[in-house]
Structure 1
Amino acid sequence: MNSLTPDIATRFAGLALDHVRREYPHKLDHVMDGPEDVLGPRALHPIFHGSFDWHSCVHGYWMLLTLRRLFPTLLLARQVRDLADEMLTPGKIAGELAYLDRAYTGGFERPYGWAWLLALHGEAMRHDESWGADLEPLARAFADRLHAFLPRQTYPIRTGTHYSTAFALVLALDWAEDHDPALAALIRARALDYYGADKGCLGWEPGGDEFLSPAMIEALIMKRVLPAADFRTWFAAFLPDLEKGEPSTLFTPVTVSDRSDGKIAHLDGCNLSRAWCWRSIADALEGPVRTIALTTADAHLNASLPHVAGDYMGEHWLASFALLALLAGDDG
């Protein structure tokens, strides 16, 4: 089974160090309320102006801090520390927080960027430096948005892109369990409301630009909110023909025809995120079903792990998803 090694960690860290401060090309999530709002990425976002878009920059920093913690003797670990010391400062964090006070930012990065910012804060809190404490106000701002939004979100968004409700709930729950018990309880309740009665998943995926598996990310949030035995019961109803390899789409790595096309390049992410989901749920499964989960995870990881670099359309973000998959394997 693939695992995270010092060589892979060095490679991933090198990629992120190269792009988290690369301002251009950049795709803004920005509503202009007047000509004074015509500003560049760095002016709008003192920290997260690299990596092609705001959310990719956030999870680029998450990956760097995670690798620094796991491999403290890594040659690039000092560069990661120096970068975080330079960028994750109270003044720059205040600038990111101020952006949220602009007009029309209620839906800014909802929910994908919200969840990744919480993941970054959670990782920063695992380091001895002040980064976590300094990021606390920004994390709290996004947690407050989740507190306000989830009760109003009547229906989950069941896509495999940034709007996925299940993906955001997974990352936000990981954070909330340590930092916001009330939010954790809300996430658990909403996940059960959204997905608890689902049965007979047809697996009509992937869509042409999906980097998540709608089916498997739903399974992952349910694994996180249910006791293991209850999850197995739910999962058996959700995928009743799993041992027959059906629906076949969930067990077959997706084809990526053009890695220079930003949307088609998302499909490498679909392979990596499926690997993450299959590995993550495997420890709650038993017998042949567990073996199928692990074998399927490896097939998907092998299909796209070699392609995390090569074209900036994938290079600015794919390693973060490869790291999620590799950490799930290392965690069991």
Structure 2
Amino acid sequence: MTQKLTPEMAAHFAALALGHVRREYPHKLDHVMDGPEDVLGPRALHPIFYGSFDWHSCVHGYWMLLTIRRLFPKLPVATEIRALADEMLVPHKVAGEIAYLDRAYTGGFERPYGWAWLLALHVEASRHEDAEWAEALEPLARAFADRFHGFLPRLTYPIRTGTHFNTAFALVLALGWAERNDGALADLIRSRAADYYGSDKACPGWEPGGDDFLSSALIEALAMKRVLPGDAFARWFAAFLPGLGSAEPKSLFTPASVSDRSDAKIAHLDGFNLSRAWCWREVADALDGPGAALAREAADVHLAASLLHVAGDYMGEHWLASFALLALTAGESG
């Protein structure tokens, strides 16, 4: 049976995020120091996104909280989420985040993973018409959109690794924002996705790597689903995974084994299972017959492998629930 997001699960995820989005330490900075004056802590550098072990996890922690508030507005925790967002997602604090981008050597800051998650947060904020969060965040979203405009034409080759540098993941989230806010960026994303992935065939499924949290194969497929009309995607996917009918390659249908959830990198593999579940569920909606059934079964198996492990050790707890939410809300949260 396909797992659905329940109010109890949503409340649990929200409690996790509320426990870490303002937890400053431990913290892993993406920060280049140009002199001793730049030796600063997370809160001094980032007025909003100083928690959750790293900047990008804090961003998608807020995304998760706002998503849960929208989906379950009657949960008691929704009031706490509203109060937090009213306090933090405000113009003067957003200005501080923008000021960080004006520092020296920030061109590669959070590229492209954090860029894409910030755009996704802005999209989610715009769905809350009773608040001013989207208006406050818009200048920061525009700043990262400008970075995509500058970067994608220069990125000759896609980055296929299953970690933060993955190009396809960033294109998926950025396109969701661009289709609402920036037609030129949406066109650029579609064009670059076609350049990067349009001729890919017979994916070998050489994954996972030891610290992947994305499936390089399936996130590429999801990106192509987002940029191609239905018939064109079906043709592309049939060439990309010609062995789908016999569940080949087996690696794409087999969840990753996680040997040590206290190891920050090995714990990525729980995210790998959850993000695969998201991708399989999304792709299944574009398939027919046995292929769709196999995709949905693979999604369920991957979700079951890691859903119970979103909490327990901070190395996973500060981010895994966001990826569980992607999987559990597949089809509406992009």
One-letter code aligned to 1:262: A
CA shift for structure 1 position 257:
0.3
Percent identity of paired positions between Structure 1 and Structure 2? 76
Counterpart position of 1:66? 67
The answer to whether structure 1 residue 232 and structure 2 residue 234 are counterparts is yes
Q: How does 1:49-198 map onto structure 2 within 5 Å? A: 49-127=50-128, 128-198=130-200
Q: 2-side partners of 1:179 and 1:329: how far apart?
A: 20
SS in 2 for 1:49: coil
Q: 2-side partners of 1:178 and 1:330: how far apart?
A: 15
SS in 1 for 2:154: coil
One-letter code aligned to 2:327: A
Spell out structure 1 runs of 4+ moving beyond 6 A. none
Provide the aligned C-alpha RMSD in A.
Answer: 0.8
Counterpart position of 1:252? 254
Q: 2-side partners of 1:95 and 1:223: how far apart?
A: 36
Counterpart position of 1:320? 322
Q: 2-side partners of 1:17 and 1:3: how far apart?
A: 22
One-letter code aligned to 1:313: M
One-letter code aligned to 1:328: A
Q: 2-side partners of 1:36 and 1:300: how far apart?
A: 46
CA shift for structure 1 position 268:
0.2
User: Quick check: 1:169–1:187 contact (8 Å CA) kept in 2?
Assistant: yes
CA shift for structure 1 position 243:
1.2
One-letter code aligned to 1:125: S
User: Quick check: 1:261–1:313 contact (8 Å CA) kept in 2?
Assistant: yes
Q: Tell me the number of residue pairs that the alignment of Structure 1 and Structure 2 aligns.
A: 331
Normalising by structure 1, we get a TM-score of 0.99
Counterpart position of 1:211? 213
Q: 2-side partners of 1:245 and 1:133: how far apart?
A: 46
Normalising by structure 2, we get a TM-score of 0.98
One-letter code aligned to 1:175: W
One-letter code aligned to 2:9: I
Deviations 1:60-110 (A, max 9, x none): 000000000111001100000000011111111100000000000000000
Deviations 1:260-313 (A, max 9, x none): 000000000000000000000111100000000000000000000000000000
- Structure 2, unaligned stretches of length 5 or more? none
Q: 2-side partners of 1:93 and 1:329: how far apart?
A: 30
CA shift for structure 1 position 329:
6.3
Q: 2-side partners of 1:289 and 1:111: how far apart?
A: 32
CA change 1:330–1:157 in 2 (3 A) is closer
One-letter code aligned to 2:307: L
SS in 2 for 1:205: coil
SS in 1 for 2:158: coil
